Amino acid sequence: MKLKIAVLAGDGIGPEVIDQAVKVSDAIAQKFGHEITWRPALTGAAAIDAVGEPYPDETHEICITSDAVLFGAIGHPKYDNDPSAKVRPEQGLLKMRKKLGLFANVRPTFTFPSLLDKSPLKRERIEGTDLVFLRELTGGIYFGEKGRRDNGETAFDNCVYSRHEVQRLAKKGFELAMTRSKKLCCVDKANVLETSRLWRETVQAMEKDYPEVIVSYEFVDAVAMRLVQWPNSYDVLITENLFGDILTDEASVISGSMGLMPSASIGSDIGLFEPIHGSYPQATGKNIANPMATVLSAAMMFENFGLMEEGKVIREVVERALSLGIVTEDLSDGEKSYGTREVGDWLAANI
């Protein structure tokens, strides 16, 4: 297969972890006889510094003419610490999601047998956890009208959803549940929010089209609690943008490190694959960032092309590295650790 992949390394540790995912992907391409053309483009703070825009038109053109996007991370302290900044790296991320139609963020949470004791939660709480969040990505409070009034003393952010936006996300949730244990949880705050009531009634109306799927409805605060009590009681969860943003970060630490969890953002045409961690500016250039989440995002990318064996090989070599202690310092517990590049080299060589 010939693949054109847009590479948006972004900021902070983004370029470092992306380099390792490219190494691993090239090793897979060599092993299975594929041909990958990598197409680098600017985004985030790096793009602002270069052209004054966090998601330039040139970057968008590269993305829409590629088969997929491999994405690192965005964000920089000089923008985080300046509330008055008119242009921010995160604006580029929201713009990219909207322009590429990436309305569904797929975030799996699973455990590795060799790392069960590294989780902040007890082994018996998390063993067997294998759940997937589908977070709506292009609507809700992040995209609603926002502003100030009363001479800047009052701020507002509007949360708006249409039935269509809920339906298309829920459809992917139902379809995913059908391929797994046929359990779906709709996460909302329907006792308070009108948008949540729209979510709940829309999903309820869709149940008849998927009679094999058992659907539950839970308030977001209850889910936040149960994720640390009994995460393995969940399978597929669907929710709106803000709730999904918070809950998926909570779920990510179940595995033992945010540096382990991949994600995909999908829509009708193109998919974007990225680690769930941020730009981690404190680690930039130190060769200590964990590349596993980005490598596993590449595995999701191959699987999205229907190349299931390729994805399986990546997952197996990552599990082998973890079990042998070929890990960065966040997982080493003070024992011998490896640099970002060394982990990437080991994975590629063992593929």
The CA distance from 168 to 128, in Å, is 29
Q: Which of 341, 253, 244, 239 is nearest to 290 (CA)?
A: 341
Mean pLDDT of 212-236: 97
For 161-184, the pLDDT digits (tens) are 999 999 999 999 999 999 999 999
Looking at residue 58, what is its pLDDT? 97
Looking at residue 76, what is its pLDDT? 87
Q: What is the model's pTM?
A: 0.89
Alpha carbons within 13 A on the beta-carbon side of 135: 25
104-110/146-149 β-pairing: unpaired
The CA distance from 282 to 152, in Å, is 33
316 is written with which tokens? 């197996």
CB atoms within 10 A of CB 154: 9
For 323-335, the pLDDT digits (tens) are 999 999 988 877 8
Residue 341 exposed, middle or buried by CB count within 10 Å (0-12, 13-18, 19+): middle
Sheet holding 214-219, edge to edge: 35-40, 2-10, 68-73, 271-275, 262-266, 104-110, 130-136, 236-239, 183-188, 214-219
List active site positions: 142, 189, 221, 245, 249
The CA distance from 306 to 204, in Å, is 31
Cβ atoms of residues 248 and 135 within 8 Å: yes
Mean pLDDT of 108-124: 91
Looking at residue 231, what is its pLDDT? 95
Q: Which of 100, 24, 85 is nearest to 292 (CA)?
A: 24
Looking at residue 219, what is its pLDDT? 98
pLDDT at 349 over 80: yes
pLDDT at 81 over 80: no
Looking at residue 175, what is its pLDDT? 97
Torsion of CA 305, 306, 310, 312, to 10 degrees: 120
pLDDT at 278 over 80: yes
